[in-house]
Structure 1
Amino acid sequence: MSTWAFDFTDKKIVITGGSRGLGLEMARAFSLLGADVAIASRKLAACEDAAAALTAETGSTVRPYALQVADWDQCTDFAQTVWHDMGGVDVLVNNAGSSPLYDSISGISEELYDKVIGLNLKGPFRLSALLGEKMVEAGGGAIVNISSIASLHPKPETVPYSAAKAGLNATTTALAHAYGPSVRVNAVVPGTFLTDVSRHWDHAAFAKRAQTFAAQRGGDPEEIVGAVLYLASSLASYTTGALLTVDGGAPD
């Protein structure tokens, strides 16, 4: 091991869902540490704006891409394109995800169910399969999946999402064995983070619930960064197939 410091100089990093929220904070951190970063989401304009702002702030190259992660063929094309554009990929962060609301479990439509599974499980699998194989051929790399505490403690209001993220956990373990020893595959399991989505919450109700957390608050988006950097770095050289929970000590 050459250093105890995080150094991603000239490393090629791909982050889905990288234009806002947790993904944007990850992109900022990698960029500040010298990486060449690609961010992708379904809204190209948002990625273009975020990439321009990060490039101006950090001085590192940030590339914007449009990608519907739930679309199998788009994932196939994106994996080929981003590998070619960047001259390889060292780290893939499967961050894109969503948990839509629904009125009742029986009222969940097939369209909603398929969308949730596609975005949170199918797409990350496809990107990991394609880029993971290329990383093995190139001699190494790391994949970091962003799961959710809902995968470990499912609730009635998160049935499709919990199922998808539980599947992502299983995929993480399986791919760690498939692509080891040269490519490490791990997952971060976040709890409640106060991103732009949290603006629509009942804040009084959340503040009461947060008192049951060991940290007694929700997480700030930048507080996910340390876990992701660790799993993506050489400091985690003996960490693979792991689920790293970052939830402020939330109860079950």
Structure 2
Amino acid sequence: MTKVPRSVPLALVTGGLHRVGAAIAARLVREGYALALHRRSAAETDAILADALAETGAVSRHFQADLADPAEVDALIPEVVATFGRAPDLLVNNAALFAEGEWPDLSASALAAMMQVNLSAPVMLATALVAASASAALAGAQNKRARPAIVNIVDQRVLHPVPDQVAYSLSKAALWQATATLAVAFGNRARVNAVAPGLTMATDDYSAAQVERLADRMPLGALPTPTQIADAVVYLARAEAVTGQTIFVDGGAHLAPMGRDFVALEKD
């Protein structure tokens, strides 16, 4: 068992070793959290997180689980509790499955796979966390007045759907709605909020010039950074009077329909 003082908050970040997940985890480390870092498979940790862990000496442990497998999802929270001797104070549902495809390409199996990773897994992790926290409080192993915070990473397109990546868009819209539903269902047992990023870390599908033009197109004239998304997560983790809310960290992209996904816009 890995003992961490009760005064040190514990966060479970799914998909926490790479990209935006690593930036969120790195920020949490610098805010004094110990980390339970979920990964799907063995891989190197992104530099932003590795540097933060090295500089702070924070306690972190890796937990491997395929969120496409309901049995592995069910085992994740109990494994974290067994490792640290207590339930996490914060769950960041960051891991996601992404796939291209418009409606003619949609199949029931592809939609089910997307919903399992992007909706079912976050919801089941949230319910398992609340149950574990309640059990620990009853047993005196956790502060009876403490309640966990849950932050779901969704997508700015939930306000203005686009025809691209239909299965992905449906799954993120469902998780967005689940955020408010769970906030009501859990009541004072847990706070549930969401962060909705816009285009943040462009893949090789974008050219540098395209990304610059997209940034100019945003109401704020800029795209968000991973650090800014992490800022929103940290705020929601600590905002004791906030539940059922979504913070859009997208340069203002959600304020007007774009018509298509970013990758289809402002092409060279």
CA shift in 2, pair 1:190/1:9, >3 Å: farther
How far off is 1:98 after superposition? 3.0
The residue that corresponds to 1:167 in the other structure is: 174
Which of residues 186, 200, 207 is equivalent to 1:202? 207
Matches within 5 A, 1:30-49: 30-46=28-44
Which of residues 225, 238, 241 is equivalent to 2:241? 238
Check conservation: 1:42, 1:67, Cα contact below 8 A. Answer: yes
How far off is 1:95 after superposition? 0.4
How far off is 1:97 after superposition? 1.1
Amino acid at match of 2:13: I
Check conservation: 2:10, 2:89, Cα contact below 8 A. Answer: yes
Check conservation: 1:176, 1:240, Cα contact below 8 A. Answer: yes
Check conservation: 1:39, 1:47, Cα contact below 8 A. Answer: no
TM-score (norm 1): 0.87
The residue that corresponds to 1:248 in the other structure is: 251
The residue that corresponds to 1:96 in the other structure is: 95
The residue that corresponds to 2:199 in the other structure is: 192
The residue that corresponds to 1:4 in the other structure is: none
77-86 vs 110-119, greater mean Cα deviation: 110-119
The residue that corresponds to 2:187 in the other structure is: 180
How far off is 1:132 after superposition? 1.9
How far off is 1:70 after superposition? 2.3
Aligned residues: 240
How far off is 1:57 after superposition? 2.8
CA shift in 2, pair 1:213/1:161, >3 Å: same
Matches within 5 A, 1:1-252: 10-46=8-44, 54-87=52-85, 88-102=87-101, 104-137=102-135, 138=137, 139=144, 140-194=147-201, 197-233=202-238, 236-250=239-253, 251-252=256-257
Q: Secondary structure at the match of 2:165?
A: helix
Gaps (5+ residues) in structure 2? 1-5, 138-143, 258-268
Q: Distance in 1 between matches of 2:165 and 2:199?
A: 14
Check conservation: 1:136, 1:179, Cα contact below 8 A. Answer: no
CA shift in 2, pair 1:10/1:22, >3 Å: same
Check conservation: 2:106, 2:166, Cα contact below 8 A. Answer: no
Deviations 1:154-209 (A, max 9, x none): 11113111211111112111111222213111111111112xx5233233333323
How far off is 1:51 after superposition? 7.0
Q: Secondary structure at the match of 2:38?
A: strand
Q: Distance in 1 between matches of 2:84 and 2:161?
A: 38
| Structure of greater Rg | 2
154-163 vs 47-56, greater mean Cα deviation: 47-56
TM-score (norm 2): 0.82
CA shift in 2, pair 1:111/1:49, >3 Å: farther
Amino acid at match of 1:248: G
Amino acid at match of 2:95: A
Spell out structure 1 runs of 4+ moving beyond 6 A.
48-51
Q: Distance in 1 between matches of 2:225 and 2:181?
A: 31
